[in-house]
Structure 1
Amino acid sequence: MLPPENRFLSPHTGWTRAHWEAVADHLLGSVNRHWSPRCARIDLPGEPSRYGPASDGLEGFARTFLLAGFRVAGGGDPALLERYAWGLAAGTDPHSPEAWPRPDELGQAKVEAASIALVLQLTRPWLWDHLDDGVRERVVDWLGTVVGQPYPPINWVWFRIVVESFLREAGGPWSAEDIEHDLALHASFRREGGWLSDGEERAYDHYAGWALHLYPLLWTHLFDIPDSLCPQEVRQTWSDDLARYLQDAVALLGADGSPLMQGRSLTYRFAAAAPFWVAAMTGVPGPEHGLAAARGIRCLRHFVDHGALEPDGLLQLGWHGGWPAIRQAYSGPGSPYWAAKGMLGLALPADHPVWTDAELPLPVETKDFTRVIAAPGWLVSARRADGIVTTVNHGTDHALPGDRRADSPLYAKLGYSTATMPCSTDNSVVLLDPEGAASHRAGFRTLFVEELPGGVVAGASQGPVRWVDTGADDSPDHGSGRAGETVEGPPVLVVSVVRSGVEIRIVRVDGQTDARLRLSGWPIAADTRPQAETAARPEVVVTGARLRSSACSLRGFDQAGVETESGSSPLGKYVAVPWLATAGPVRRGDLFAAAVRLDRDCGAMTNPLLTGHGDEIVLRWSDGLDTRITLPSP
């Protein structure tokens, strides 16, 4: 399938444009056997979404249409669009047995309408301009049902903006009021450092890049947008925001090209490359590393090398290979093909510098570093020796301060990385009630995230925990935590101090409780059961799949162990999580501390010496550096 590597032009991946074209053509060719008779649907195998097969078939059509459109716009064979032209004719015909559900009838059709409109605009000379007048009229009628319709106040606002902008240029119905309303909502999502939240909640994830940065820049690049709708200063703000965001986004990539395994819709996989491509397409200055040749961020090769393409060439719901448990309620067999956004660069000509310039190394390949990303409240740490990037989380939970729901595993954990997938028990600080049920922390307050001398970053969050019985909540899974009958717990303070890949996690319970305290570290997934070693201090070290996860008590914990699961990760059959705990209930004001780390078994582990008096904590690192932390008041 792939041409020979070119290590002169691409010293890190060996991949050139020819490799990207080969993967795109393989993806498109592999769905050919799944076209419906009139080509309005691509009916892929797999469990249907909650919206049903008709919606799923439209999704398969629209999302592969993205990839075909990018391929043709960048010089590919226009014949790739022939079946899509037939499908447009059948899908928009209300009398056809393959008629699509309309956007005013089914919410998911609003999403797919945006992909269709975007590609029709991108490929206008090869497709739209050659359609019969009757087909064009029906497409306009079908798309036109979005006008005036309600849209969720999240990234979906861009689906209506894109569709109505296409309708405006095609002579169809559109609403300036709709677009102005949606642009105002988008403006409300803007946060510090070029980040955007997917709605009003602290919902920071890959949607910031593959949706909330992607669509605005493509919109102003592909459509004739008057200044009355989008003034020049707004366009410049968006470009500046993307440039700042990319500085963080490239720092969050592992040396192997893996994106951060955090947030919903992870089945979109290499769509994480999309913001780099849109920057190259629209002339937004990129970060020092990676963007000189955006292909060098390696996301696509990472997933191809790790089996994301099934033997039949399809993308299934999963991460590397198929793993159905990754699905959300809206996920269907065609959903993974939003990964096509990560191949947007194919719409650029072959002589664009992004294809002809030599690859550059990623930040994690050049040096060890720490970084604070203020908007999501992340403390980032990367080590060149193992190529892993970790984030310690004190600001993201897909909730608002004071929320009383259960934790969302994809958002509210204390840590996420490019080498581990969150499971049920990892990276948490919980109180265990007398029956052993664990508390939840969503709705916490972020107290601070900051850089300190010596490459140290620190953060803290605080809030009352609770126990939530979610058994009666059967609402669709869209990434948020679940609701239920709640038992209130005491406030808990968690402080993290991170240096050289080591997190010193400090905990204080600021209320009365009869619960024990448990702290857990990073999950190790492997196809053979990970190995665990415990020491008397207490300390536990778990190894497997060339990874090492450890939790070592520095103060207060008197138990250590490993929680082992099976079938809960796409990265391996077994998952093992180290933990520390107290033998009995904790007392108000008592201080606990542990060293938590994840690495590739890169030599001996040295933890700092912790001393403290009252609320003043001093960490003395092995090189003599002292880090002083004043704990916030209860």
Structure 2
Amino acid sequence: MPRLQFFSNNPLATRGDVVEASKAIIAPLLPYFSPAKARVRIPETIGTHFDETAPQLEGFARPLFVVGALLHAGEPDADSLLQPWVTGFKAGTDPNHEEYWGSFQDRDQRKVEAEMIAFGLLAGQKSGLWDRFDIETKTNIQTWLLGLLGREFHTSNWLWFRVMATIALIKVCGVDRADIRDQMREDLSQLDRMYLQDGWSSDGIWPTVQEVLSTEAETRERTRKTNQRFWSRQADYYSGSFAIQFSQLLFVKFAADLDPARADKYRQHAREVGAQFWRFACAGFFAALALAEVGNLPEPIHTPGAVKGHLLRHLRWWANRSEGILRSDGTINIGWTYPNMFLTEDYNSPQSVYWAVKSFVVVALTADSPFWTEPEAEYPEHDIGVSWLQAPRQVLCNHPQGNHHFLLNPSQFLLRPFKNSMAKYCKFAYSSSLPLSVAVGTVLLSQIAPDNAWLLSRDGTETWATKRICTDARVGRAAVDTGTSVAQDLLAISSQWYPWADRQVSVTTTLMPPSDRWPDWHIRVHRISVLSNQIKQLELVEGSFAIHGTRRSDNRMISVAHAETMGQGRYLGGDATS
């Protein structure tokens, strides 16, 4: 695929560089605007679980994170860039126009885009965006946003989208009513229920395992079916860089005067989570952290230059992979570092990926901001070693002698109708270097791809089950032989889980992080209890990290026989080396 001018070849070192990159990344969308500019449709049909208008609204709304930010900073040519969106606001909010976005329904994908619309209005207010609309368009925008009030929302990060819309109604549209403020307070109260500790929130209410298991047992007894309720215990990118932490920082930026105490609380959340989150974060968090100008940050994000380093290194990493992430027309494809529909969700449209431009909201800061004037700090020599993060229930593994950063995941899970949810939330370990695998079939092990998972079969390998619902983690210690007279004291994190909903098989897994003896590895111990004499045998399969299995010398695949005889190794990055 071709590289994208002003993005792929961009040093991404200065504000000017990042401004050029932000414009470049949304420029390929311009040919795909609809005639009245209210929708954007990349000409690729993949099918989502919602109507076709909603993803075309995604294409219009998501670039507003760039357009609004440039307006906020008073960028000289922002007006010419903005014009399609000014025109599109008029048609998209007009219920009598053929390009009308549509009114909000319960659990409607359009609700997600309300945050981007709100951001564009709030960020653009400084440059007089609201005053560019005629009276009819202003009324239609108000009416469209007011349609969110009273609608049913997922109890998740989605509530933030309505909060941002209410802020825009109050601060930009001049509609400051009691019902709007009541809705905002109600949503913020619900979001407070998702708070865990140490700055972390879950994406949804974090249930007790007993709630999940007792409800599942009752449902199974009554209906003879399982998985009839959707549960989750997830502290992930949606509760971090994608949504909750990001939106909290937008609140600090645009609405601190509406609730100063809450804004102070969100600043503290950012300080606390940032000190733990930085090694595994997508960059939206750092862009919003800079935009909100949160002070008194802890190491290793304690200076504007440090935050800048995390953000710009991230952007450069992606720019250097342009050939894998861009289509021939310069639009961003669906996947990760290459197109991959197996990885995606059924709510991903060709336009969805432009949520990625959240990382560019930092261009709203003018050139005299400390973020831009301070030198970019180098990657920190910050030895955090191996640490237990109580809020997300994960072990962060960064052994001083190791070359591989990963986390152990004893007790998060997701039981929602998403694709490959067990692969994405229930595996024992996730790496920042070695990607997770998702299933592409259900029969062969090579299709199931159980990296960092343990599969069990009780029907002669016809079907396989793995970790799903599990108990909360129990934190203990273990003494490890180091080959010397002194044993090393290690964390030992245990949780119990049931491969099958009838609970006739119970597994207790203990995870132990890297030690001085194995700085790039971890240990798993599984204890199995079979509670039914009807189960005569179990087949077991366990996977470790998935590597790119090719030889460096000639790029040919490493054979299974060769892999079995490689012997003890050490992770050096990229692939496994003897």
TM-score with structure 2 setting the length: 0.79
Q: Is the 8 A contact 1:428 1:519 kept in 2?
A: yes
Counterpart for residue 15 of structure 1: 13
- Counterpart Cα distance in 1 of 2:529 and 2:169: 57
Q: CA deviation at 1:24?
A: 0.8
Structure 2 CA distance for partners of 1:358 and 1:343, relative to 1, 3 Å: same
Distance 1:335 1:497 in 2: 38
Q: Which residue of 2 aligns with 1:587?
A: none
Whole-angstrom CA distance in 1 between matches of 2:499 and 2:503? 7
May I ask how many residue pairs the two structures share in their alignment?
500
Which secondary structure does the structure 1 equivalent of 2:427 belong to? coil
Aligned AA (2:275):
Q
The answer to whether 1:445 aligns with 2:458 is: no
State the match for 1:127 in structure 2.
129
Deviation at 1:375, TM superposition (A): 1.8
In 1, are the aligned partners of 2:433 and 2:573 still within 8 Å (CA)?
no
Amino acid at match of 2:573: R
Q: Does 1:82 align with 2:94?
A: no
- What's the CA shift string for 1:132-154, capped at 9, x where partnerless? 11111111111111111111110
SS state at 2:542 partner: strand
Percent identity over the alignment is 24
CA distance, structure 2, for counterparts of residue 54 and residue 289 of structure 1: 43
C-alpha separation in 1, matches of 2:341 and 2:372: 35
Q: Which runs of 5+ in 2 are unaligned?
A: 206-231, 438-448, 480-487
Cα 1:541/1:98, change in 2 over 3 Å? farther
Where does residue 174 of structure 2 map in the other structure?
171
Tell me whether 1:521 sits opposite 2:534 in the alignment. Answer: no
Q: Distance in 2 between matches of 1:493 and 1:242?
A: 34
* Structure 1 residue 599: Cα displacement: 4.7
- Is the 1:48–1:333 contact (alpha carbons within 8 Å) kept by the matching residues of 2? no
Alignment pair present for 1:184 and 2:189 = yes
Provide the rounded CA distance (Å) in 1 between the counterparts of 2:464 and 2:8: 52
SS at match of 2:423: coil
Letter in 1 for 2:333: Q
Larger proportion of helix: 2
Return the offset for 1:505: 1.2
Report the 3-state secondary structure (helix = DSSP H, G, I; strand = E; otherwise coil) of the residue aligned with 2:233.
coil
CA distance in 1, matches of 2:159, 2:576: 49
Equivalent position to 1:25, from 7, 23, 26: 23
**Change in 2 beyond 3 A, CA 1:449/1:244:** farther
Question: Quick check: 1:464 aligned with 2:464?
Answer: no
Partner in structure 2 of residue 204 of structure 1? 235
Structure showing the higher strand proportion among its residues: 1
Instruction: Tell me whether 1:54 sits opposite 2:53 in the alignment.
Output: yes
Q: Equivalent residues in 2 for 1:108-507 (5 A)?
A: 108-124=109-125, 125-169=127-171, 170-172=173-175, 174-200=179-205, 201-209=232-240, 210-223=242-255, 225-226=257-258, 230=259, 232=261, 234-252=262-280, 272-284=282-294, 285-289=296-300, 292-293=304-305, 294-297=307-310, 298-307=313-322, 308-363=325-380, 369-382=385-398, 388-399=404-415, 408-423=422-437, 424-436=449-461, 437-449=463-475, 456-466=490-500, 486-499=501-514, 500-507=519-526
Report the Cα distance in structure 1 between the residues aligned to 2:477 and 2:286, rounded to whole angstroms. Answer: 26
C-alpha distance 48-127 of structure 1, shift in aligned 2 (>3 A): farther
Give the deviation of 1:332 after TM superposition: 0.8
CA deviation digits over 1:407-439, x for unaligned, max 9?
A: 621000001111222223111123222421322
Q: Deviations over 1:118-166 (max 9, x none)?
A: 2101111331122111111111111111111111110011111111221
Over the residues paired in the alignment, what is the CA RMSD in angstroms?
Answer: 3.1
Q: What secondary structure is seen at the aligned counterpart in 2 of 1:446?
A: coil
| Aligned residue identity for 1:288 | E
User: 1:318 offset after TM fit, Å?
Assistant: 1.1
Distance in 2 (alpha carbons) for counterparts of 1:14 and 1:29: 17
Contact 1:496 1:504 in 2 (8 A): yes
Give structure 1 stretches of 5+ with no counterpart: 7-12, 253-258, 260-271, 467-485, 543-549, 553-595, 606-634
Per-residue CA shift, 1:48-83, capped at 9, x if unaligned? 422233111111000012211112222322322111
Contact 1:377/1:449, CA 8 A, preserved across alignment: no
Query: CA 1:599/1:456 → structure 2, altered by over 3 Å: closer, same or farther?
Result: farther
Separation in structure 1 between the aligned mates of residue 121 and residue 390 of structure 2, nearest angstrom: 38
When residues 488 and 237 of structure 1 are mapped into structure 2, their CA distance, relative to the original with a 3 A threshold, is: same
Q: TM-score, normalised by structure 1?
A: 0.72
CA separation of 1:88 and 1:487: change in aligned 2, threshold 3 A: same
Q: CA deviation at 1:105?
A: 6.9
Contact persistence 2:114–2:145 (CA under 8 A): yes
Q: 1:427 to 1:489 in 2, by over 3 A?
A: farther
